[in-house]
């Protein structure tokens, strides 16, 4: 299953990240994973939340530029070489990773890593064929 990631455009200004998190907190939205990519003047906050549709709506209402992107949360063995195993499969199947970041929580003995690919549908199949687990739903977390 693909996970809906929310991206938010943020200028590099004091307090902007706090504002976003504050809005989410007040609306009882839980952030499961997050990362920030930045350039000189601006940043893009990317996150996986428990209520993506609602989050998008609320942030848009508050005047933020937001969008959904399809990502895949991959289960990675929490041991040395665990991530390398997954990346090997991707490499052998000629799949390019746009970016990736880790989940805050773990699922049993697995770590969860969010991947952004050009063609997420194709990747989901490849991963399944190679016996690599992906997160099917957020509810269980």
Partner 1 sequence: MIWNEKYECMDPQELKNIQLERLRNVVNYVYEKVPFYKNRLNTYGVHWKDIKSLSDIKKLPFTTKEDLRDNYPFGLFARPLNEMKEIHVSSGTTGNPTVVGYTREDIELWMEVMARAIACAGGNPGDMIQIAYGYGLFTGGLGFHYGALKMELTIIPTSSGQTKRQLKLMQDFKPRILACTPSYALYMVDEAKEMGMEPKNSSWEIGIFGAEPWSDSIRKEIEEIWNMTALDVYGLSEIIGPGVAQECSYKDGLHIFWDVFYPEVINPETGEEVKEGEDGELVITTLTKIGMPLLRYRTRDIVSIKYDRCKCGRTSPRISKIKGRTDDMIVVRGINVFPSQIEHVLLGIEGTQPHYQIIVDRKAHSLDELEIWVEVEEKIFSDEVKKLEELQEKIKKEIESVLGIIIKVKLVEPKTIERSMGKAKRVIDKRQL
- Separation of alpha carbons 9 and 11, rounded Å: 7
Shortest CB 10 distance to partner 1, Å: 7
Per the DSSP assignment, residues forming a β-bridge with 90 are none
Among 102, 45, 104, 40, smallest CA distance to 69 is for 45
x-or-dash string of contact with partner 1, 71-110, rule CB under 8 A: ---------------------------xx-----------
Stretch that binds partner 1, among 63-71, 82-90, 105-113, 131-139 (CB under 8 A): 63-71
- Choose one: 6-14, 78-86, 101-109, 119-127; the region binding partner 1 (CB under 8 A): 6-14
Could you tell me if 100 and 115 are in contact, meaning their C-beta atoms sit under 8 angstroms apart? yes
Q: Which stretch binds partner 1 (CB under 8 A): 25-33, 59-67, 79-87, 103-111?
A: 59-67
Cα 37 from chain centroid? 12
**Contacts with partner 1: how many residues (CB under 8 A)?**
23
- The burial of 117, by beta-carbon neighbours within 10 Å (0-12 exposed, 13-18 middle, 19 or more buried), is given as buried
Residues that bind partner 1 (CB under 8 A): 5, 7, 9-11, 37-39, 41-44, 46, 60, 63-67, 69, 98-99, 116
């Amino acid at each position: 299953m693909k996970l809906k990631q929310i991206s938010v455009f943020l200028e590099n200004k004091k307090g902007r990240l706090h504002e976003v998190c504050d809005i989410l907190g007040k609306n009882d939205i839980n952030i499961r994973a997050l990362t920030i990519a930045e350039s000189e003047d601006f940043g893009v906050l990317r996150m996986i939340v428990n209520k993506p549709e609602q989050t998008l709506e609320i942030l848009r209402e508050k005047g933020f530029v937001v969008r959904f992107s399809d990502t895949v949360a991959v289960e990675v063995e929490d041991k040395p070489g665990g991530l390398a195993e997954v990346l090997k499969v991707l490499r052998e199947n000629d799949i390019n990773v746009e970016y990736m970041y880790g989940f805050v929580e773990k699922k049993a003995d697995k770590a969860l890593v969010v991947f952004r690919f050009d063609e997420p549908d194709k990747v989901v199949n490849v991963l399944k064929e190679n016996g690599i687990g992906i997160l099917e739903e957020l509810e269980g977390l």
